[in-house]
């Protein structure tokens, strides 16, 4: 078993677990065919960093606990919550819910207290044993945040209000009335000075002071040369992601157009704008500060990074310079991304049954509970190894007889496989050299012919480009024009010599050829008939029986005309040849008389 590794800008990303690494086998099949699976090398050597790390259908959200010992994820189907224990590398428990989850928060240092925003306008509070309480909000929610000093849960949704549920008093407080007319997409709390940030559907970011409970400022981001602006918004896009830096001064804003803007809260203009290049809404934004390894050295020497993710790709780039650092492209659509605190382990929840896990050594060390991952990735990295079949050649029985090795059938020299045999490569090359000693000469002649053919193909030829629609009809019309031109030139050449030949070429046949040429020119050059060769609706199907019945005599007449033209051309050549011979004989006789 090997680990798939990708390298972008010399930064390696290892796929530790996921659906693209090991086969997904149902549990009932694994139980029934346990003995057979023990003989399967790929199944027996698979890597499961965490057992049952996934959901039956898809994973929606994933977050790690602040103490780094557990992680909680939501998924479907059926809608459920799962908690995974890192110390035991397994799932601790799962708990089913009535509806799908929109987002959730972990309110304690461990997994015991959490609040979940559901898509049926409810807030569910869970403890270690069960769902503790359920509250209903007036409008459908889109995001939530927790303000620990005041014990307020902030919920933004499809309205201009941000609802406040105080879990200390157990009641709703007066909501924040924003200036957004459409709704609130994202709610975030600054970790340094507890400033509230609300990203609206109108394309603005409002900042509120929790002490005064008033709006103290707003940002109206603008992106120059936006290709597909969204109607009803001020800047042509919506705010879909927001994240504050730990120092309290930096803010990252993600838009529905796939752009990321970095702000200093002391300035109104962004000092960095990055395009995700896919045009998809930004789903996740995270500030990644440089971490320290076990030895005390910095694992990342290039400063802080920004992780931006849409539904297709995860990109990491430098904060100061904006240069790309690395990227991760999962095999499924992305719903959420979680980075283990202080490590280089990345969890990706997406539209697949498995939660993808990636390890970036240059981003940070491996977590303490899987410290073996750093050595494991180096040992099991995917390398090009020689296969056991590289020293053998597969041949069929006919080729075996032509090489004179048919008498070896049934001996250990030939390994029967499917409809042929495996033979040692050295024996095959030696037998081929004896059976065909001139193989190199044939190969050289064949290569020379191929080179000459390529040289001929590179020559410039006068070709007529036929249309894609009714190609056969266009070719016949061009042949009519060509036939008329040939007849006219032949008549002009014979006009100076034999008048009888001119009469033979002329007449009724020549008039028919000229009339057909005029008709062909009219069809090909007149704009009224251009749709015949451009519109597929006018395509003539010559393979149907109706067409064959209507054009049977016409096809025979065309073939007969072509045969007559060929015979007349041969007669013309014979007459010209006789004239040339007679003129040469006369010139020779005159020369003899002169010398005599």
16 has a pLDDT exceeding 90: no
State pLDDT tens for residues 122-180: 999 999 888 899 999 999 999 999 998 999 999 999 999 999 999 989 899 999 999 98
pLDDT at 293 > cutoff 50:
no
pLDDT > 90: percent of the chain: 27
Residue 164 tokens, joined? 């406040």
Tokens encoding 444: 């050289």
The pLDDT mean for the chain works out to: 79
Contacting residues for 260 by C-beta, under 8 A, at least 6 apart = 252, 253, 254, 273, 274, 275, 276, 282, 285, 306, 308
Which of 38-52, 234-248, 304-318 is the least confident region? Answer: 38-52
- Higher-confidence residue of 268 and 578: namely 268
pLDDT digits (tens, 9 = 90+) for 120-135: 999 999 998 888 999 9
C-beta separation of 313 from 307 below 8 A:
no
The model's pLDDT over 500-534, given as tens digits with 9 standing for 90+, comes to 544 554 566 666 666 766 777 767 777 777 777 77
Q: What does the pLDDT look like over 26-62, one tens digit per residue?
A: 555 555 555 666 666 656 656 778 888 889 889 999 9
pLDDT for the residue 4: 74
Q: Identify whether the C-beta of residue 249 lies closer than 8 Å to the C-beta of residue 206.
A: no
pLDDT at 112: 92
DSSP for 50-105, written as a single string: STT-B-SSEEEEEEE-TTSSEEEEEEETTTEEEEEETTTTEEEEEEE-SS-EEEEE
Element holding 5 (H helix, E strand): strand 5-8
Of residues 194 and 6, the one with the higher pLDDT is 194
Measured CA distances, 192 to 332, 339, 417, 535 (Å): 35, 20, 69, 66
- Which is more confidently placed, 333 or 535? 333
Tokens linked to 434: 């004896």
Residues in the chain: 596
Taken in order 414, 417, 421, 425, the sign of the CA dihedral is negative
* Contacts within 8 Å (CB) and 24+ apart, 161-166: 162/187, 162/196, 162/198, 163/137, 163/138, 165/123, 165/135, 165/137
pTM: 0.60
Q: How far apart are the first and last CA of the chain?
A: 102
The Cα–Cα gap between 384 and 13 comes to 18
Q: Percent of the chain at pLDDT above 70?
A: 74
């Amino acid at each position: 078993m090997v680990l798939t590794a990708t390298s972008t800008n010399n930064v390696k990303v290892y796929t530790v677990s996921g659906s693209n690494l090991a086969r997904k086998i149902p549990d009932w099949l694994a139980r029934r065919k346990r003995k057979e699976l023990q003989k399967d090398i790929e199944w027996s050597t698979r890597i499961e960093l965490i057992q049952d790390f996934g959901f039956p259908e898809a994973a929606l959200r994933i977050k790690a606990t602040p103490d780094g010992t557990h992680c909680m994820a939501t998924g479907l189907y059926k809608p459920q919550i799962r908690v995974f224990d890192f110390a035991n590398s397994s799932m601790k428990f799962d708990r089913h819910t009535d509806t799908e989850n929109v987002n959730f928060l972990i309110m304690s240092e461990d997994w015991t207290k959490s609040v979940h925003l559901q898509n049926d306008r409810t807030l569910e509070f869970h403890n270690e044993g069960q769902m503790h309480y359920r509250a209903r909000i007036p409008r459908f929610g889109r995001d939530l945040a927790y303000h620990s000093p005041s014990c307020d849960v902030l919920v933004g949704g499809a309205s201009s209000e941000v609802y406040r549920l105080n879990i200390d008093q157990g009641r709703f407080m007066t909501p924040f009335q924003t200036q957004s007319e459409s709704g609130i997409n994202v709610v975030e709390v600054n970790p340094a000075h507890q400033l509230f940030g609300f990203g609206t559907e109108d394309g603005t970011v409002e900042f509120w002071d929790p002490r005064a409970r008033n709006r103290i400022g707003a940002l109206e981001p603008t992106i120059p040369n936006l290709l597909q602006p969204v109607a009803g918004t001020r800047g042509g896009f919506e705010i879909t992601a927001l994240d504050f830096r730990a120092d309290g001064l930096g803010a990252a804003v993600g838009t529905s157009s796939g752009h990321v803007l970095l702000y200093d809260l002391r300035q109104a203009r962004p000092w960095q704008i990055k395009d995700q290049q896919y045009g998809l809404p930004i789903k996740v934004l995270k500030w990644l500060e440089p971490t320290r390894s076990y030895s005390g050295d910095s694992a990342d020497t290039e400063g802080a990074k920004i992780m931006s993710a849409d539904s297709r790709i995860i990109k990491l780039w430098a904060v100061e310079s904006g240069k790309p650092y690395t990227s991760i492209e999962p095999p499924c659509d992305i719903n959420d991304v979680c980075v283990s605190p202080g490590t280089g382990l990345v969890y990706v929840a997406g539209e697949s049954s498995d939660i993808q896990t990636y390890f970036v050594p240059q981003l940070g060390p491996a977590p303490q509970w899987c410290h073996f991952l750093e050595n494991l990735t180096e040992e099991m990295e995917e390398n090009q190894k020689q296969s056991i079949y590289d020293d053998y050649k597969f041949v069929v029985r006919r080729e075996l007889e032509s090489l004179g090795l048919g008498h070896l059938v049934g001996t250990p020299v030939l390994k029967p496989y499917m409809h042929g045999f495996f033979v040692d490569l050295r024996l095959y090359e030696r037998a081929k050299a004896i059976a065909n000693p001139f193989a190199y000469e044939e190969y050289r002649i064949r290569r020379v012919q191929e080179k000459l053919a390529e040289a001929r193909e590179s020559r410039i030829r006068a070709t007529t480009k036929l249309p894609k629609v009714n190609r056969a009809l266009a070719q016949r019309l061009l042949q009519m024009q060509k036939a008329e031109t040939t007849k006219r030139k032949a008549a002009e050449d014979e006009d100076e010599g034999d008048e009888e030949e001119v009469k033979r070429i002329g007449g009724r046949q020549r008039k028919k050829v000229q009339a057909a040429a005029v008709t062909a020119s009219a069809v090909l050059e007149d704009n009224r008939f251009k749709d015949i060769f451009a519109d597929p609706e006018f395509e003539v199907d010559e393979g149907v029986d109706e067409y064959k019945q209507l054009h049977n005599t016409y096809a025979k007449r065309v073939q007969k005309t072509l045969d007559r033209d060929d015979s007349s051309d041969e007669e013309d050549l014979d007459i010209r040849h006789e004239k040339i011979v007679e003129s040469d004989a006369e010139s020779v006789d005159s020369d003899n008389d002169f010398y005599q």
